[in-house]
Every structure is written in C-alpha cells, then in structure tokens.
Amino acid sequence: MGQSKKKFIDKFITYTILILGSVIMLVPFVWMVLTSFKTYAETVKLPIQWLPSVWNLDNYREVLLKLDFIRYYRNTILVTVLTLVLMMFIGSLSAFAFARMNFPLKNPIFYMLLTVFMVPAQMTMIPKYLIISNLGWVDSLKAIVIPNLFSVYTMFMLRQFFASIPQELEDAGKIDGCSWFRLYWTIELPLCRSSFVAMTVLNILWCWNDLLWPLIATSSDKMRVLSVAMATLQGQHGTEYHLLMAAGVMAIIPMIVIYTFGQRYFIEGIAFTGVKG
Amino acid sequence: MKKKKFKREWLWAYIFIAPMVIGTLCFGILPILYSIGLSLMRWDGLGEKAFVGLANFGELAKNEKFVYEIRNTLVYTVCSVPITLILSLGVANLLNKGLKATGFFRVIYFLPNIVMPVAAAMVWRWLLNSKFGVVNIVLKALHLPAPNWISDPKYILTSLIIVSVWTGVGYNAIILLAGLQGISASLYESARLDGAKSRQIFWKITVPLLTPTLFFLLTMSIMNSMRMFDMVYTFIGSADQGGPIVDASRTVVFGIYEKAFRFMSMGSASAEAFVLFLMIAVVTVIQFKFQDKWVFYE
C-alpha cells in the first residue's frame, strides 16, 4: 500500500513539473498567436486584455500585402528548396565517394575538407562577401544559395551511413554491371534513406532560419528572405507588436508543419548527430 | 584490364567529389586564408589595402566596445550553457521515467528549437516588455520586482540568457534522453538489489554514463553561444542609435558584423574574427585536454 502511494506521489510530482515546464515552453507561442489577432490599441491596453475582441485577419493581410511578405515567402522558399536539393546531392555524392570508392589522395583530401569544421563560419563571412561581390552576385538569391551549398558536416555525417552498408550489396551491383553513379543512386542512397531525410530536415531548419548570411549577401528590399525581413520590420515597426507577431507566426508556421509531419526524423536526426557526432 | 578498371574508379570518384572540393576551396578554405590575411591590413573595402602587421589587434585591445563584446559573450556563455544543461538534465530525467505522455512532452519541449531565432527574440521582446509584457504583469501580480528587461542595460543580458535557455532546453533534453535510454536497465537493477538509493544511483551510475553526451553538448553549446548573433541583432541591433543598451548586449559576432558591414573596416573586423576563432579553439582544446578527468567512456 505504502509502496503504491509513494509511486503515485512520484508520478504526480513528475507530471506537475513537466506540465509546468510545457506551459513555459508554450506561452510564447500562444501569446504570439493571440497578439497577432489583436488591434494595436488592444496590445497596449492596461490592465492587460488577454484575448482579442474580434478574431480577424487584418494584421495578416497587412503584413502579407502591404509589407510585402508574399515576396519574402517566395524568396525564402526558393532559397531553401534550391539550397537543399543541391546541398544534399553534392554532400551525399561526395560522401558516397569517400565511403565506398578508392582513389589516390583520398585521405588527404578528406582531412583538408574537414579543416573547415574547425573554423566558425562567422570567421569567413567577410571574405565570402568579398568573393560574391567580385563575382557581381551581391543582392541576388544566388548569393545566398551558392556559398551555402558545400556542407562538409552533411558529407561527414552521410559518409558514416554509407560506410555502414554491407559490402555484399555493392559487389552484387558491380557484378550486374552497375555504373558507379547507379550504385550510388539506386542501391546505396535508398538504403540510408532515413538518415538522409533526417539530415535534410535539419538542414531545412537551418536554411530557413538563418539570418546572418542573407543579411550580408542581400541589400535591397526585393531580395530579402523572411529572417531578414523580420529583423528589418522589428527595426521599423518596433512597437507595433500586433504586426510583428503576425509576421512571426507566418515565418514559423512552415517549420511547425514540417516538424509535425517529420517529427520522427527531427528527433532521430538530432539524437543521432548528438550521440554519434 | 584490372588497371583500367581502377583508373575508371578514380575518375568517377574525382567527378563525384569535385563539386564539394571546389566549393569548399572557394567558400571555405580560401576565405579562411583570406580572412587571416585581411586581419593584418587596413582596408575600407574599396580603396587600397595597406599592410599594418598586428596593429589591428593592438587597436582592438584598446577599443572599449571590443572589451564589452568579449565580456558580454563570455558572461552570456558562462550563464546560459550551465543553466540550459542542468535544466535539460532534469527534464530528460523526468522524461525517462516511462510516463505514457513522454512522446507528447518531448514534442512540446523541442518546439522552441525549430523557431526562427529572429522570431523567438521578437516574441520574447514582447513578453518581456516592461509595461505591457506578460512576464512583468505576472511578476507585478506576485508583488515581485518587475525590471525593464529590454531597456535597462543591467538586465538586457539576462533577457538574452532567458531566451537562449528557453530555446535550448528541449534540444539538449532530447539528446540527453537518448543517452539515458542507452544505459542498460540491468545496471540499475543490480544497484537497486545492492540497496542503493535513487540519489546514489543518479550520481554513481546515471551521471557517469551520461558524461560522453554531456561532454558533446557542452562542447557544442559553448561553441554556439560564443557565436551568438541573431538574438542580439533582433533585440537591439536594428536600433542604430548605439548607446549603453547596445554596449551592454553586443557580442563578438555582432562586433564583426558592425565593423565590416556598417563601418567598412574590413581589417579590424577580420582581426576580431580571428580572435573569435582563437577563443573557440582555446576553449575546445581545453575541453578535450580535460575530458579524461571527468568523461567516462565504457
């Protein structure tokens, strides 16, 4: 009897703490959504008005149309899709070569690539800016995309997955006269699909949310991505939180959707890169 | 015959790695060397470059803004990393108790991590608003002091630490949970049979076996904290006026950005970038040097 009572209390305390923590985790989201439906007057009312009096989409309309967020959405989607497709292709193809093929200078080249690991990206942003500026790319979407395509980290992680595939499969493919590219594309890549998707999801998140590089690489209004547009909006409309929160909700919704559907991959990816990385 | 086949393999391998190697050379390795070179020059980004040796570093050391940047970055790192790690260790432990709702809680706690840092900073700036913010309204209702989180230089760093803890707890907790689940149940059972108390089990079994994960998280979190930019930029960076509030929150990466892209002084910005590299390198080397003192590998 005493034992089960103790267990019950233990469970009760665990739940209480976890629920309290969850509330803290969720309050910013709830407040963001509530504020995004309020009018300006309602946001600065004292005593505080918790709920909007009318649930209308005026703020969203204003942010999308007047503040041009449709364009920023389009830019961000374009940048994210282009970056991800090319980055994952380049990364996995080189990972495959380093994991499964033999060629002279393999290790020296691999270690040379890994040196960029040791250096924070913030150290190289000035030269990167100078390079794209010499190429005449500044203030275009390709200036955001191209320098980000070469993810040594993605290559490094995927190489481990490719290396864990049994040799027999490769040999069977070779006997059938598979070309190296077909070996990569039709046999090995599908086998590490789940880790490939996990890496993709992590990279989407990073690409969508990144601020510093797009901020440097673009300057005009037309080329802004969401993160830059939000930071600019904060500067210009710093106190109009009803608009800022509507913009914020729109900027995070795509990631929340991806997270909801690909939750397994997020958590797998995070846990995998965490434990083995 | 065999030789020919090998040559074909080499050729294909080189084709496969070519984009990665060329891209990394252009946008990774070359910029590193270029950055080191620039740190020894004076250059406004347009005119002639002038070689000045280590003068940029000397000037940085005398620049009080740079001193603030180093101080803020270190304070931020030293506070946010341990707080996040301790809280996430607690959460991971609770999540590991085998409750039915574990999956649900895991989703909730991880949610802040997927939010764009700019948006996170924005909503917290609103929550922490001194007059209309929810945090201060709650604090006032509880008769607790309600400071000016955003506009008081004394509190701005605390606000940034709060946001980073909110963002980081879930991420760290999930990795720690994976680590906890990797500890075999038989170890716990035999300890319990030997009459060990829960607290003893936690400190003598759980923590030691979790040290590799903790070490990984500590290394990564310190690196990330030292590179903090997005939140500072959203909190204060878009306000061009400068002043004490900016000085109280400017970080090293913010300093690099400001020097290079607002003041166009590429040389001293690159010098500061090199300092950032050294800071991260030194901390990482120290961590790896001391890891055998506390990290337990099976």
Helices A106-118 and A152-163 pack at an angle, to 10 degrees, of 130
3-state helix, strand, coil in chain A (%, to 5): 80, 0, 20
Q: Give the residue-averaged pLDDT of A242-248.
A: 94
Structure-token pair, residue A17: 């703490």
Q: What is d(CA B103, CA A263) in angstroms, rounded to the nearest whole number?
A: 10
140-179 of B, contacting A, C-beta below 8 A? 166, 169-171, 174-175, 177-179
Structure-token pair, residue B72: 């803020």
Residue B62 has a pLDDT of: 94
Tell me how many degrees the CA angle B116-B73-B218 measures, rounded to the nearest 5: 75
Does any CB of chain B come closer than 8 Å to the CB of residue A232?
A: yes
Residue A87 has pLDDT above 50, yes or no: yes
Residue B208 distance to chain A (closest CA, Å):
15
B235: number of Cβ within 10 Å: 24
Does any CB of chain A come closer than 8 Å to the CB of residue B128?
A: no
Q: What is d(CA A271, CA A275) in angstroms, rounded to the nearest whole number?
A: 6
Q: Print the SS3 string covering A5-39.
A: HHHHHHHHHHHHHHHHHHHHHHHHHHHHHHHHCCC
Option in A102, A126, A216 nearest B270 (CB): A126
Does any CB of chain B come closer than 8 Å to the CB of residue A31?
A: yes
- DSSP per-residue string spanning B75-129: HHHHHHHHHHHHHHHHHHHHHTT--TTHHHHHHHHHGGGGS-HHHHHHHHHHHT-
| Averaged pLDDT score across all residues of chain A | 90
Residue B296 has a pLDDT of: 82
Identify all chain A residues contacting B126, using CB atoms and an 8 Å cutoff. Answer: 31-32, 35, 241, 244-245
3-state secondary structure (DSSP) of residue B42 = strand
Q: Would strands B50-51 and B41-42 be described as parallel, antiparallel, or unpaired?
A: antiparallel
Q: Do A31 and B134 touch (CB under 8 A)?
A: yes
Q: Are B20 and A86 in contact (CB under 8 A)?
A: no
Residue A72 has pLDDT above 70, yes or no: yes
| Averaged pLDDT score across all residues of chain B | 90
Q: What is d(CA A160, CA B152) in angstroms, rounded to the nearest whole number?
A: 49
**Percentage of residues in chain A having pLDDT higher than 70:** 97
Residue B283 has pLDDT above 50, yes or no: yes
Identify all chain A residues contacting B277, using CB atoms and an 8 Å cutoff. Answer: 119-120, 123
Residue A276 has a pLDDT of: 44
Residue B241 has a pLDDT of: 62
- DSSP per-residue string spanning A152-164: HHHHHHHHHHHHT
Taking only the tens place, the pLDDT of each residue in B8-29 is 889 999 999 999 999 999 999 9
Taking only the tens place, the pLDDT of each residue in B169-217 is 999 998 999 889 888 888 888 888 888 888 888 888 888 889 989 998 9
**pLDDT band, residue B82 (cuts 50/70/90):** very high
**pLDDT band, residue B298 (cuts 50/70/90):** low
**Percentage of residues in chain B having pLDDT higher than 70:** 96
ipTM: 0.91
> Which one is predicted more confidently, A22 or A118?
A22
Q: What is d(CA A59, CA A242) in angstroms, rounded to the nearest whole number?
A: 7
Does any CB of chain A come closer than 8 Å to the CB of residue B257?
A: yes
Q: What is d(CA A124, CA B241) in angstroms, rounded to the nearest whole number?
A: 27
Give the best residue of B14, B116, B183 to mutate against chain A (max A CB count within 10 A): B116
Q: Residue A136: CA atoms inside 13 Å, Cβ hemisphere, count?
A: 0
Q: Do B253 and A119 touch (CB under 8 A)?
A: no
Lowest mean pLDDT among A154-168, A260-274, B44-58: A260-274
Structure-token pair, residue A41: 């007057």
Q: What is d(CA B274, CA B167) in angstroms, rounded to the nearest whole number?
A: 28
Cα dihedral value A251, A252, A253, A259, nearest 10: 150
In chain A, what are the domain boundaries? 58-276
Residue B235 distance to chain A (closest CA, Å):
9
Rg (CA), chain A: 24
Does any CB of chain A come closer than 8 Å to the CB of residue B99?
A: yes
User: How far does CA A73 lie from the centroid of its chain?
Assistant: 15
Q: What is d(CA A99, CA A93) in angstroms, rounded to the nearest whole number?
A: 10
Maximal C-alpha separation, chain A: 78
Q: Are A144 and A81 in contact (CB under 8 A)?
A: no
Residue B112 has a pLDDT of: 94
Residue A275 has pLDDT above 60, yes or no: no
Residue B1 has a pLDDT of: 46
3-state secondary structure (DSSP) of residue B196 = coil
Write the single-letter amino acid at A190. P
Q: Are B202 and B121 in contact (CB under 8 A)?
A: no
Structure-token pair, residue B184: 């075999």
Answer whether CATH 3.40.50.10860 is correct for domain A58-276.
no
Q: What is d(CA B36, CA B46) in angstroms, rounded to the nearest whole number?
A: 18
Does any CB of chain A come closer than 8 Å to the CB of residue B78?
A: no
Q: Are B174 and A271 in contact (CB under 8 A)?
A: yes
- Which helix (DSSP H) or strand (DSSP E) does residue B41 occupy? strand B41-42
Instruction: Report phi then psi at B20, rounded to 5.
Output: -65, -45
Q: What is d(CA B49, CA B260) in angstroms, rounded to the nearest whole number?
A: 14
A47 preceded by a cis bond (ω within 30 of 0): yes
Residue B194 distance to chain A (closest CA, Å):
19
Give the best residue of B123, B128, B159, B219 to mutate against chain A (max A CB count within 10 A): B123
Q: What is d(CA B72, CA B68) in angstroms, rounded to the nearest whole number?
A: 6
The 8-class DSSP code of residue B132 comes to T
Option in A43, A93, A275 nearest B132 (CB): A43
The 8-class DSSP code of residue A188 comes to I
